[in-house]
Amino acid sequence: MGIRLPVPVFVALLIIMVGGITGAFVYGLFTAKSGRFSNEIFILEEAFQQIQEQMPFAIRYGYVATDLEDPVTVRDETQIYPGLTLITTVNKDFETVIHIVNDEGERVHEWAADWYKIWPDADHIEDAKKPKKRPAAFLHGAQVLPDHSVMFNFEYLGMVRLDACSNTMWRLPHRAHHSLMPDGNGNFWAGGRNWLSAEDGKRYPHLITPRLVETLILVSPEGELLEEIPIVDLLDDNDLIGLMLLSPIRNRNFTLDANVDILHLNDIEVFPEDMTPGVFGPGDIMLSLRNINTVLVFNRETMRVKYMRTGSFVRQHDPDFVDGNTISIYDNHNIGPVDGEKEIFTRILTLDAGTGEQSIRFPREGDAGFYSRALGKHQVLPNGNVLIIEPREGRAFEINNDNDVVWEYISLTEPGKMTGAITEASRLPTEFTAESFAAARQSCAATTSGAQP
Amino acid sequence: MDVKVPLPVLLALLVIMIGAVAGAFIYGVTVPKTGPVANLVFELKEALQQTEDALRGNNPYGYIDSNQERVVTVRDEQAMQPGLTLIAAIDKDFNAMVRVVSSTGDVVQEWVVDWYELWPDPNHIQKVKQPKKKPAAFVHGAQILADHSLMFNFEYLGMMRLDACSNVMWRLPYITHHSLMPDGQGNFWAGGRNWIPEEDAKRYPHLRTPRLIDTLVRVSPEGEILETISMPDILSENDLMGFLFMSTTRNFDTSVNEGVDVLHLNDAEVFPEDMEPGLFEPGDIMLSLRNINTIIVIEPDTRRIKYLRTGGFVRQHDPDFVDGNTISIYDNNHSAPEDVEISSRIVTLDARTDEITVRYPTETDPAFYSNVLGNHQLLPNGNILITASFEGRALEIDSSNKPVWEYFNIVESGETLGVIIEASRLPVELTAESFASARQACGTP
H or E stretch covering B10: helix B7-34
* Interchain contact, B3 vs A255, CB within 8 Å: no
Residue B200 reports pLDDT greater than 80 = no
3-state SS assignment for residue B223: coil
Q: Is B198 exposed, middle or buried (0-12, 13-18, 19+ CB in 10 A)?
A: exposed
Q: Is A310 on the interface with B (CB under 8 A)?
A: yes
Q: Does the distance separating the beta carbons of A204 and B335 come in below 8 Å?
A: yes
Residue B271: phi, psi to the nearest 5? -65, 125
B36 has a pLDDT exceeding 60: no
Handedness of CA A427, A428, A433, A437 (dihedral sign): negative
Cβ separation B254–A240 shorter than 8 A: no
> Most A CBs within 10 Å: which of B25, B61, B304, as the mutation test of the A interface?
B25
Strand partners, B285: B270, B298
A166 touches chain B (CB under 8 A): no
Exposure of B92 in the CB half-sphere (CA atoms within 13 A)? 6
Amino acid at A260: V
d(CA B405, CA B2): 74
If 0-12 CB within 10 Å is exposed, 13-18 middle and 19+ buried, where does residue A328 land? buried
CA distance A120 to chain B (A): 27
% of chain B residues with pLDDT over 90: 71
Contact A28 B255 (CB under 8 A): no
H or E stretch at B326: strand B326-331
Q: Identify the band that residue B253 occupies on the pLDDT scale cut at 50, 70 and 90.
A: confident
Tell me the chain B residues in contact with residue A243 when contact means C-beta distances shorter than 8 Å.
Answer: 293, 310-311
**Average pLDDT value for residue range B47-69:** 83
Q: How far apart are CA B258 and CA B38, in angstroms?
A: 8
Q: Identify all chain A residues contacting B5, using CB atoms and an 8 Å cutoff.
A: 2-5, 10
Nearest-CA distance from A418 to chain B in Å? 22
* Strand partners for B4: A4
Tell me, yes or no, if A352 comes closer than 8 A to chain B by beta carbon. no
Nearest chain A residue to B207 by CA distance is: A336
pLDDT band (50, 70, 90) for residue B42: low
Classify residue B434 by its DSSP letter: H
Query: Is it true that the peptide bond before B135 is cis, omega within 30 degrees of 0?
Result: yes
Interchain pair B10, A3: CB under 8 A = yes
pTM of the predicted model as reported, rounded to 2 decimal places: 0.86
- CA nearest to A389, candidates A104, A140, A49: A140
Is-contact B442 B167, C-beta < 8 A?
yes
**CB–CB of A142/A113 below 8 Å?**
no
Contact A315 B371 (CB under 8 A): no
Q: How far is A113 from chain B (nearest CA, A)?
A: 24
Cα–Cα distance, A422 to A330 (Å, whole number): 15
Looking at this predicted complex, what is its ipTM?
A: 0.83
Q: How far is B191 from chain A (nearest CA, A)?
A: 18
The phi-psi region of residue B156 (left if phi > 0; otherwise alpha if psi is between -120 and 50; otherwise beta) is left
Element (H, E) at B75: strand B72-75
Provide the shortest C-alpha distance from residue B9 to chain A (in Å).
9
Q: What is the mean pLDDT of residues B100-108?
A: 97
Kindly state whether A346 is in contact with chain B, defined as any CB-CB distance less than 8 angstroms. Answer: no
Cα–Cα distance for residue pair A216/A226, rounded to 1 Å:
11
* Cα gap B62→B56, rounded to integer Å: 16
Per the prediction, chain B carries an average pLDDT of: 90
Give the 3-state secondary structure of residue B96.
Answer: strand
Q: Give the closest residue to B333 by CA, choosing from A201, A34, A205, A310.
A: A205
The CATH number for B64-442, chosen from 2.120.10.30, 3.30.360.10, 3.90.870.40, 3.30.200.20, is: 2.120.10.30
Mutate to test the interface with A, among B246, B279, B349, B370 (most CBs of A within 10 A): B246
The answer to whether residue A10 neighbours chain B at the CB level (below 8 Å) is yes
Checking A197-202 for CB contacts under 8 A at 24+ apart, the result is A197/A230, A200/A230, A200/A232, A200/A233
B330 — contact with chain A (CB < 8 Å)?
no
| Chain B residues 87-126 with a CB less than 8 Å from chain A | none
Q: pLDDT tens track of chain A, all 453 residues?
A: 577 778 888 888 888 888 888 887 777 666 554 444 544 555 566 566 666 655 655 667 788 889 999 999 999 999 999 999 999 999 999 899 999 999 999 999 999 999 999 999 999 998 888 888 888 899 999 999 999 999 999 999 999 999 999 999 999 999 999 989 999 999 999 999 999 888 888 888 888 888 899 999 999 999 999 999 999 999 999 999 999 888 766 666 667 777 788 899 999 999 999 999 999 999 999 999 999 999 999 999 999 999 999 999 999 999 999 999 999 999 999 987 755 555 789 999 999 999 989 999 999 999 999 999 889 999 999 999 999 999 999 999 999 999 999 999 999 999 999 999 999 999 999 999 999 999 999 999 877 554 444
Cβ contact (<8 Å) for A21 and B20? yes
pLDDT digits (tens, 9 = 90+) for B2-24: 777 788 888 888 888 888 888 87
B371–A252: do the CB atoms touch at under 8 Å? yes
Higher pLDDT, B205 or A185: A185
Q: What is the dihedral of CA B41, B46, B52, B57, to 10 degrees?
A: 180
Query: What is the distance between the alpha carbons of residues B442 and B324, in angstroms, rounded to a whole number?
Result: 41
C-alpha B176 chain-centroid distance: 11
Q: Nearest CA to B304 among B276, B285, B317?
A: B285
User: Can you tell me the distance from the alpha carbon of B61 to that of A251, in angstroms, rounded to the nearest whole number?
Assistant: 12
Residues from chain B that touch A240, judged by Cβ atoms under 8 A, are 311-312
| Cβ-defined contact of B3 to A10 (cutoff 8 Å) | yes
Q: Chain B within 8 Å of A51 (Cβ-Cβ)?
A: no
What is the 3-class SS of chain A, one letter each residue?
CEEEEEHHHHHHHHHHHHHHHHHHHHHHHHHHHHCCCHHHHHHHHHHHHHHHHHCCCCCCCCEEECCCCCCEEEECCCCCCCCCEEEEEECCCCCEEEEEECCCCCEEEEEECCHHHHCCCCCCCCHHHCCCCCCCCCEEEEEECCCCCEEEEECCCEEEEECCCCCEEEEECCCCEEEEEECCCCCEEEEEEEECCHHHHHHCCCECCCCEEEEEEEECCCCCEEEEEEHHHHHHHCCCHHHHHCCCCCCCCCCECCCCCCCCEEEEEECCCCCCECCCCCCEEEEEEHHHCEEEEEECCCCCEEEEEECCCCCCEEEEEEEECEEEEEECCCCCCCCCCCCCCCEEEEEECCCCCEEEEECCCCCCCCCCCCCCCEEECCCCCEEEEEHHHCEEEEECCCCCEEEEEECEEECCCEEECCCEEEECCCCCCHHHHHHHHHHHHHHCCCCCC
- Count of CB contacts below 8 A, A vs B? 205
B204 touches chain A (CB under 8 A): yes
Any chain A CB within 8 A of the CB of B25? yes
8 Å CB contact of A344 and B205? yes
Whether B60 and chain A come into contact, CB under 8 Å, resolves to no
Q: What is the residue extent of each domain of chain B?
A: 64-442
Residues of A in contact with B260 (CB under 8 A): 249
Of B5, B9, B28, the CB nearest to A24: B28
Q: Does A250 touch chain B (CB under 8 A)?
A: no
Least Cα distance to B266 among B180, B334, B196 occurs for B180
Could you give the CA distance from residue B368 to residue B335 in angstroms, rounded to a whole number? 14
Q: Looking at the complex, report in whole angstroms how far the Cα of residue A323 sits from the nearest Cα belonging to chain B.
A: 22
* B239 lies within 8 A of chain A by CB: yes
- Please check whether residue B251 touches A, CB under 8 A: yes
Q: Residue B38: which pLDDT band, with cuts at 50, 70 and 90?
A: low
Which contiguous run of DSSP H or E holds residue B213?
strand B212-219
* φ and ψ at residue B122, rounded to 5 degrees: -80, 75
Q: What is the spatial distance between Cα B266 and Cα B192, in angstroms, rounded to a whole number?
A: 10
Record: contact B371-A254, CB cut-off 8 A:
yes
B235 contacts chain A (CB < 8 A): yes
Residue A142 amino acid letter:
A
Residue B155 burial by Cβ neighbours in a 10 Å radius (0-12, 13-18, 19+): buried
C-beta atoms of A315 and B254 within 8 A:
yes
| Contact indicator for A64, A393 with CB cutoff of 8 Å | yes
Question: By the CB < 8 Å criterion, does A31 face chain B?
Answer: yes
- Tell me whether B341 touches chain A (CB under 8 Å): no
Residues of A in Cβ contact (< 8 Å) with B51: none
Identity of residue B395: L
pLDDT level of residue B37 (50, 70, 90 thresholds): low
B10 touches chain A (CB under 8 A): yes
Inspect the interface and report whether the beta carbons of B205 and A335 lie closer than 8 Å.
yes
Closest residue of B to A45, CA-based?
B30
Does B413 reach chain A within 8 Å, measured CB to CB?
Answer: no
Q: What is the pLDDT of residue A361?
A: 96
Reported for A146-151, long-range contacts at CB under 8 A and 24+ positions apart, including other chains, are A146/A431, A147/A440, A148/A109, A148/A432, A148/A436, A148/A437, A148/A440, A148/A441, A150/A98, A150/A111, A151/A180, A151/A188, A151/A221
Which DSSP state fits B353? T
